Every structure is written in C-alpha cells, then in structure tokens.
Amino acid sequence: MAGIPTTLKGRSFTRISSWSPDELRAVLDLADELKAERARRRELRVLPGRTIGLIFHKPSTRTRVAFEVGIAELGGMALFLPASELQLARGESYRDTAIVLSRLLSALMIRTFDQDEVEEFAEHASIPVINGLTDTAHPLQALADAMTLRERFGSLAGLRLAYVGDGNNVCHSLLRMGARFGMHVVVATPPGYEPDAHVVEGATRDAAASGGSVALVQDPREAVVGAHAVYTDVWASMGQEGERERRLRDLAPYRVDDALLALADRDAVAMHCLPAHVGEEITAEVLYGPRCLAWEQAENRLHTQKALMALVIR
Ligand code: CP
Ligand code: NVA
C-alpha cells in the first residue's frame, strides 16, 4: 500500500465539522486499504512504542474493543482508563488531566457526557484527542457508517439516507457527515425529538456546498420513500434511562420494520450503530435480515479507528 499521509499528524478529532471533506476522505481511503491488508493478514505496525489512553465515562463494547484491537494491530499499546478510577472522579480538572496525560501518552480517546469536556481536553492537550461519543456527537460512528455506505454503494454523493427515531448524538454526526459528502439526509422524529437546531443549520450549510440536502419531517414513511439507507438508533441513549418510559411511548411509531423498509428504494439497506434494543427501534426481522448492514458497520469501526490513529498520531 502507499505511504500514510503526514498532513493530519497531531490533529484532534472531536467533531465532524472541524474536518474538511478531503480530510475525512483520507480516513475512509486509508480504512479501505487497512481492511484489505488485514484480510491478507498483513501487518502495518505504524505505532510502535506509542501508548493510547482510552477514558470511558460510559460503557462500550465496539468503541473500546475496536480501539484495543486496532492499537495492538498497529503495534502500539492501549491503556483502558475507566473514568471512575481516575482523579477526574475526585475533582481533578480536565485541563490538568490533559496536560499530564500529554506528557505520558501519544493520543487520548474520551467517551463522556458533555461535548465541552472533550473540547476542553483537546484545547489543553498537546496530543491528538479523539471523541469516543458524547451526549451530542458520535463522530467515530459516522466515519464507520460512511465507510460502510461507500463499500455498499460505491460513493456517497447523491445517496438518500433516512434517519428514523431520536435526533440524538448518532443522528447529529451522521447529518454532518452526510452533508459534507453530498448526501440527501432526511430525519424523521416526533415533535420534541428533533436534532439540535445548530447541527441542522451547519449541515444545511454544508449540504448547500456539497450538492446534498437536509430535511426534517415527522412522518417516518415520508422520510424513507426513495431512501437507499434507513438508519435508526436506540430511543433512550446512555444517560437518559430516567426518560425511558416516555421515550418508548413517544417513539413507538418510529420502529424500523419490514413494512417501513418496503417503502424505501428496492435495494435499500437498514443501518444501526448498535447496541440495538430489538423490538423497540428495530425489529428482529430487519436487524437479522439480509438488508441489514449493522454488523458491517460494527466491523468498520475497527478499520476507521485504525486509519484515524495512523493519520493523526505522531
Ligand atoms: N456503536 C458504539 O459506539 O458502540 P459501543 O457503545 O459498544 O462502543
Ligand atoms: N445513542 C446511543 C449510541 C450508543 C453507541 C447512546 O448514546 O447511548
């Protein structure tokens, strides 16, 4: 494979909107190559002697395992840092933690609640800081989703994606990613569950430049007509457990089932970032059916996270 570009060394990845379409494309292109190399059982040990810290304030299966496996495959070492075990839990500031960890690590991933905490980390760290999910963004997921869509459809521009359900963190990053790549993204939510207005505004601006579009509707059937991909996510995200009953009630008409999928394009795929609550936002028929790309999305977390690390870590 060709050499790894050096232009992104040192960069943090806290949100999709701070990376240009070309920069995002560089991650996707390298991820494709790394996937092919891995299939040939070829190793690319570009992170020898590097230690990457992984701070988790919330549970994780895919993000954590994809990082730990990916770092090992690149020849580095992963350090799992549950937030409850750090001095952060006893009030040490993000600023001080970022300065100290920058002296010890080569990069840092953080999964937390408030996006501002990730931004504060990135501001004070002298190493790349990667957002592993916040209440308002999940940019790593959007990278894997873009890779998965590109694999299936060849390119992203012009693709129609319907996101159905809760206008949450996954929806936000998907909107920003889709808009940057000229996709037509329609989001269907009940009133009160729409994605944040500033995310929609930013995505709308990007879509105007890329030839894509962004639309919000309430009727899930209207959203999926002509869609190439129908995407959903849980109705109660991590941290929203107390609102679960209300959310289940309000979002019940937004379940992705075979009947809804039948209204989409003939070759439409179903997508889910996982973990899924089967029988809530997605039926078993769809999740385990032949049109579902959720398992591919999960695998592509590995390839995209490896590509990102290989590009940003010095
Ligand atoms: N999709 C995703 O981020 O999964 P985990 O919560 O298991 O990391
Ligand atoms: N919206 C979900 C995504 C989990 C990967 C959550 O934040 O819990």
Q: Which atom of ligand 2 is least distant from the CA of 60? A: 5
Domain with CATH 3.40.50.1370 in the chain: 16-137+299-312, 141-297
Q: Which of 11, 57, 62, 138 is catalytic?
A: 138
> Nearest CA to 144 among 164, 122, 173, 184?
173
Is 112 near ligand 2, meaning CB less than 6 Å away?
no
E strand or H helix that includes residue 192 = none
Mean pLDDT, the chain, whole residue set? 97
Expressed in angstroms and rounded, the spacing between residue 304 Cα and the centre of ligand 1 is 14
User: Taking the alpha carbons of 304, 308, 309, 311 in that order, is the dihedral positive or negative?
Assistant: positive
What pLDDT does 70 receive?
98
Q: Which residues line ligand 1 (CB under 6 A)?
A: 60-63, 133, 141, 273-275
pLDDT tens-digit map of 198-236? 999 999 999 999 999 999 999 999 999 999 999 999 999
Catalytic-residue membership of 301: yes
Two tokens at 43? 């190793």
The residue to mutate among 136, 163, 196, 234, having the most atoms of ligand 2 within 8 angstroms of its beta carbon, is 234
> Averaged over 282-288, what is the pLDDT?
98
- Please give the Cα distance from 100 to 209 (Å, whole number): 40
Q: How far is the CA of 169 from the centre of ligand 1 (A)?
A: 12
Nearest residue CA, atom 2 of ligand 1? 62
Name the CATH architecture for the domain at 16-137+299-312. Answer: 3-Layer(aba) Sandwich (3.40)
CA pair distance 276, 234, nearest whole angstrom: 6
For a pLDDT cut of 70, what percent of the chain falls above it?
100
Considering Cα of 40, then 24, then 67, then 162, what sign does the dihedral take? negative
The string of pLDDT tens digits covering residues 3-32 is: 898 999 999 999 999 999 999 999 999 999
Does domain 141-297 fall under CATH 3.40.50.1370? My reply is yes
Q: Identify the H or E element spanning 54.
A: strand 51-56
Ligand 1 atom nearest 274 alpha carbon: 1
